[in-house]
Structure formats: structure tokens, C-alpha cells
Amino acid sequence: MIKIKFPDGSVDEFKEGITPKEIAEKLPSSIRKNALVAKFNGKLIDLNEKIKKDGEFDLLDFNTKEGRETFWHSSSHVLAQAVKRLYPEAKLAIGPPIEEGFYYDFDFLNIGDEDIKKIEKACKQIIAENLQFKRKVVSKEEAQRIFINEPYKLELIDDLYGETISIYEQGEFVDLCRGPHLESTGKIGVIKITRLAGAYWRGDSKNKMLTRIYAISFPTEKEMKEYLEKIEEAKKRDHKKIGKEMELFDVKNEGPGFPFIYPKGMIIWNELLDYWRQEHKKAGYQEIKTPIILSRELWEISGHWDHYKDNMYFTKIDSRDFAIKPMNCPGCILVFKSKKHSYKELPLRIGEIGLVHRHELSGVLNGLFRVRSFHQDDAHIFCTEEQIESEVVGVMKLVDKFYKVFGFEYFVELSTMPENHIGTEATWEMATNKLISALNKQGFDYKINEGEGAFYGPKIDFHIKDSLGRSWQCATIQVDFSMPERFDLTYVSEDGREDKRPIMIHRVIYGSLERFIGILTENFAGKFPLWLAPVQAEIIAVSDSFNDYAEKVRDALDEAGIRVELNSKSETIGKKIREALLQRVKYIVVVGKTEEENNTINLRDGYENKVIGEMKVESLIKQMKEEIAEKRL
């Protein structure tokens, strides 16, 4: 008999060789019905795999990240089978799950809209056939025979696999795969192809360009319908489109991946930075600015020259090698090293809005979301081991305060020691326990990502959820043992020792300022909270004869510190209002004969596109100033 421990802590005994599917028979029907894959001792396994030892056991459904990945990975095999049925000459490459859905790469002729419909229809047929996913382990030689007509699979067999290889079969289709997979194709409700793209084999531009088919799948038609509706709404909120319409920002062919922020975009930028500086000053941070170009020797010490070189840009100055910084940390370290420090100065909190450059392939660039230059709201905390927990709690409180201002819900993940790491296990355990204690003190529910910490220490990541339910990883807190060691950082301890090593905590809140503005733009669909809005009010006169009164109203708002514009174009009132609505102006102020006689304005809410009515200018100013001061959503 073997002992199986369940997530609720209960333990039960089962016969050796039992499968997850058989264990599920003893669990509630809702769990059994929705189970897609099992997790045993931290490893994902098929529902039909035999369990032969004691361990911790869980069943995962589509609501879990690992469950979705298994679902989408299995769906990629269905997509590949459909393509091979329709186009036997197509050669198979790879088909992994991705953040949202999956793709499969093929070597075959270009396909169009009619082909997409045929492939989706073939996928539907394969799902209806309810084919079993069967795992087999074969020798390298047998795998080479099976894939004799699949050159890309043969290359993978030679390069990535040992003497035994796992394959998965469903009906007539077979693929190289470590798994796990669903029980059968019938578990998949519906597959939808989302787009086509070109992709170099193994990401190398020297290799052949393949056809990449992106797709997504769900257990039910209802979930697919909801997803497609969300995608349509996301298109309307596309920050690239809104950014141009509102004249906020753009990316040009002359600088691919290097954003241009326009005057109205700079208003949002500066408001975010003003708030950042205000709150960080309260929290005891000092601000610095470090150069964007630093010598090769510095990046060799930090390890970036050896491990991050492909993502960096370089230059020569007076025959010396320099690099444009991809990260702010080494510059901050040089500031710390510029003088001797005492334990009395710790924790030392140093912030920097640092401009960094990282090389990204042109195919992945995406507005403000994926760029080659961006500003990080970095801060580095130099502290003692005893101070780690309290400093992490302080950062958590700051993160929570910021995200509440924008109305973001968020969830938290803790990533622990990876296989390849520096430092002793005892040090890792100490730091991880301090992060866990800090999380518990703040009452956070959190997911643990075993073995996914940075090589230099454990970390906590914050994922915000936007108005469409999408998640974005922004804030992070990382404990670092490596940099203080590499750069020989020290402080004078209480007992007078001058070689005491500080701990370094890396943290960001916005993450990338550019990306955060992109997220805000899509989250609010350009209808920013009033304190961030580039134009907070627009004055419109019903005709040119009331321009003088319109200017008087504008001046009153301007003197009160309101960002206001006057539309004095010789256009109809309807066209002026439509233009203000397109610019996402919240307060549209209309003036005419009645308003001039009564010394009032007529107010329209541009976000709701509804008339509020006549009111005094003073009342409007009071209302707006309160809304701005409270950072009201």
C-alpha cells in the first residue's frame, strides 16, 4: 500500500500502481469531472499514469495555470493532427502552450482564410472522435524510424533527447512529447485559430521560415464566446490605437522599439512620477540618477557581460568597451560603494527612475508593452539579514497603496530556490522563510512557484488584473545575495567589523513606466481618472459670439490648476462635442447665451456621454479639485 496526501492535508492509503483517475473516483464528482491532469510530488502526470510510491497529490482543472497549459498543449496536438490530415506533405516542428492558447509551427505552403476554416473543421472532427492520448517510451532508434519523414523531429531527437524518448499517439497521429496530456481529444470543447505568422526554426534567422498557426481552445463553446467578446473589447482598448487618437505616444519606423511620448502623454508620465516621488519620500527613499553607459568591466563583475550579452547594446569610447545599461542595479551599487557605511545607516533605500535598453527581436515588439528602451521605477534596499522581513513588509504596503489608487486587484506569487543557484541552502531557507513570514503578516494568499526564483535569491511577484480580467506582472521584490558578494559590498557592524556583507533587495512597483502607461490606457480605455487625464476639461462655445465668455471660463479653470482647453474652431457644436468625446475628455463645458447671462456653464460628462446640466463655474472647480485631490476613480 502507498500513502497519498491531499491538498487539504488528509492522507489515505491506496494499492501500489493506482492511477490518478482511479484516485479521483473517491473524490467529489465536481473535482473528478473537471480534472485535466494530476500533480504528484510537484510533477505533472497523466491521469492514467501509475503511482508506485507515497506522495502529495492534487488534481488540476482549467482554472489552474498548469491545467490550462496541459489543455492547450493537448490542443496543439489536435491542431497538428488536423493539418496533417488535410496537408500530408506538411512537416511538423513544435507546438507548445503559451500564455494565452498555443501555436504549432509547420513547414508547408502558405495558407489563407479558407484553409483556416478547413483546419478548424478538421479539429472539430478529431475532438468528436474522442481519441485517447497514449504515452509510449521508445528507443532513440525506434523514434528515428517513426519520424523518418519528419526532418525537424529528427533534429530534435538528435539534439535534445537521450537514449529513451517519450511519444504520444492519438489515432493515426504521433508526436514527440514529454507530456502530460489530457485523457482524450473529447475533453477539448472547441478550438479557434486566432492568427498566422512566420517563425524561424528554433528562433534562428539563419534557419528556414516556418508557418506558425496560433490558436486557443476552451472546454465549452460558452467560454470561447466570452473569450472572443473579450478580444473584441480589447481591440477597442488597444493602447496603440488610443495613444494615437489622444496624441499620447507612438512608436515610429525611425526608432523601432523606442517610444515617443507626446506632450499629452508626458502629462500622464509626470503625474505618475510626481505621485511616485511623493510616496517614496514618505517611505524614506532617496533618489539618484546613474549613467546609461558604463564600462565593460562593470558588466563583467555583475555577470551581465557573460549571461545577458545577447540582450545588450554596446559602444566604444577611447578604445574601451562600454555597454548601454540593461538594468539599473550596478549603477546603484557604485553609489553605495562610493563611501563607507555604518549599520546605523541601514536599511538604506535608494530609488531611481532609470532608463534601460534591452534588445528585443522585431517580431515581438508591441507598442509600449514590448520595447527596447524603457524607464524602471527601480529601488534597491541595502539591509541586514534581520531587516529583510520588515523591509519586505514595507514594500508590500507601498505596492498595495499604489495599486489601490488605480483600482487594481492583484494576486501574489512566491518563487523559491532554482536548481542552478548561488549561495548556501541555509541562506536560501532563511530568506525564503522571511518572505513567507512577510506575506503571512500582510494576510496575503499566494501561490508558490517551486524552483522558479532568480539564481541569486527568492522573489515575490505581484500580478495586477485589469478591467478585462487580464493579468500583468508589474511589481516584484527580489532578495539578492549575489551582487553584494560580486561587488564586495560591506558595512561597519555594531561590533566594529568592517567586512559585514549587506543584503540587497531589488524592487519595482510600476515595473516599466512605459508599459504601465500602456496598461492604464487599456484598463481605462483612455478614460483616465481625472488626476491623470491630459485634458481635464474642454470649453466649447455654441457660436463664435460667445468666445469671450468661453475664454473667461477657461481662464478661471486654468487659474484653479485645472488642465483645460478651449475649442475655438469654426465648427458646429455637435462636431466639437464629438471631437471632445474622441479625445476622452471627462468634463465638456458648453457655454452660450443662457450661461453668459447667468454666469454659469452647462456641463456634460464625456466619459458617460450624458448631460449633467447648468451649474456655477465655482461649483465645477470645487468638484474637480476634490476629485483630483482624492485621486478618485
CA distance 213 to 215: 6
Residue 26 class from Cβ within 10 Å (0-12 exposed, 13-18 middle, 19+ buried)?
Answer: exposed
Give me the domains of the chain, ranges plus CATH numbers.
2-61 (3.10.20.30), 66-234 (3.30.980.10), 292-326 (no CATH), 328-511 (3.30.930.10), 537-629 (3.40.50.800)
Q: What is the pLDDT of residues 494-527, one digit of tens each?
A: 999 999 999 999 999 999 999 999 999 999 999 9
Mean pLDDT value of segment 31-52: 93
Range name among 21-35, 122-136, 177-191, 533-547 with the lowest pLDDT average: 21-35
Compute the mean pLDDT over every residue in the chain, rounded to the nearest whole number. Answer: 94
Query: Which pairs count as long-range contacts for 565-569, CB under 8 Å and 24+ apart, including other chains?
Result: 565/535, 565/537, 565/538, 565/539, 566/538, 566/539, 567/538, 567/539, 567/540, 568/541, 568/544
What Cα–Cα distance (Å) separates residue 87 from each residue in 241, 256, 557, 625?
A: 38, 37, 67, 65
Pairing of strands 409-415, 348-357: unpaired
Burial 552-584 (b: 16+ CB within 10 A, else e): ebbebbeeeebbbbbbeeeeeeeebbebbeebb
Residue 187 class from Cβ within 10 Å (0-12 exposed, 13-18 middle, 19+ buried)?
Answer: buried
Which residue is catalytic, options 153, 212, 280, 380? 380
Q: What is the pLDDT of residues 522-576, one digit of tens each?
A: 999 999 999 999 999 999 999 999 999 999 999 999 999 999 999 988 899 999 9
CA distance 39 to 22: 14
pLDDT of residue 77: 98
Residue 198 class from Cβ within 10 Å (0-12 exposed, 13-18 middle, 19+ buried)?
Answer: exposed
Bridge partners, 587 (sequence order): 537, 605
Contacts of 225 (CB under 8 A, 6+ apart): none
What DSSP designation does 524 have? T
Left, alpha or beta for 443 (phi > 0: left; psi -120 to 50: alpha)? left
Burial 147-183 (b: 16+ CB within 10 A, else e): beebebbbebbeeeeeeebebbbbeebbbbbebbbbb
Please determine, for residue 37, whether its predicted confidence score (pLDDT) is greater than 80.
yes
Whether 459 is a known active-site residue: answer yes
Mean pLDDT value of segment 436-452: 92
H helices of 171-295, in order, are: 221-236, 239-245, 263-282
CA distance 469 to 529: 19
Residue found under cell 541569486: 456
Whether 378 is a known active-site residue: answer yes
Q: pLDDT grade, residue 482 (50/70/90)? A: confident
Bridge partners, 138 (sequence order): 165
Which residue is catalytic, options 325, 332, 375, 376? 376
Whether 181 is a known active-site residue: answer no
190 closest CA partner among 222, 226, 217, 230 = 217
| Cis-peptide into 484, omega within 30 deg | no
Residue 63 class from Cβ within 10 Å (0-12 exposed, 13-18 middle, 19+ buried)?
Answer: exposed
Please give the single-letter amino acid code of residue 536. Q
Residue found under cell 461649483: 619
Mean pLDDT value of segment 294-301: 96
Q: What is the pLDDT of residues 342-368, one digit of tens each?
A: 999 999 999 999 999 999 988 889 999
For 508, the grid coordinates are 519595482
Please determine, for residue 73, whether its predicted confidence score (pLDDT) is greater than 80.
yes
What DSSP designation does 206 have? T
Whether 376 is a known active-site residue: answer yes
Residue found under cell 490550462: 68
Contacts of 377 (CB under 8 A, 6+ apart): 276, 351, 353, 508, 509, 510, 511, 513
Whether 145 is a known active-site residue: answer no
Q: What is the pLDDT of residues 236-247, one digit of tens each?
A: 999 999 999 999
Q: pLDDT grade, residue 473 (50/70/90)? A: very high
Which residue is catalytic, options 181, 349, 506, 563? 506
pLDDT of residue 419: 86
CA distance 393 to 432: 14
Contacts of 327 (CB under 8 A, 6+ apart): 304, 356, 376
Which residue is catalytic, options 358, 421, 434, 500? 358
Mean pLDDT value of segment 429-436: 93
Whether 506 is a known active-site residue: answer yes
260 closest CA partner among 252, 268, 272 = 252
Contact 604, 612 (CB under 8 A): yes
Residue found under cell 528562433: 203
Which residue is catalytic, options 153, 325, 459, 604? 459
Q: What is the pLDDT of residues 102-123, one digit of tens each?
A: 999 999 877 888 899 999 999 9
Which residue is catalytic, options 77, 123, 239, 329? 329
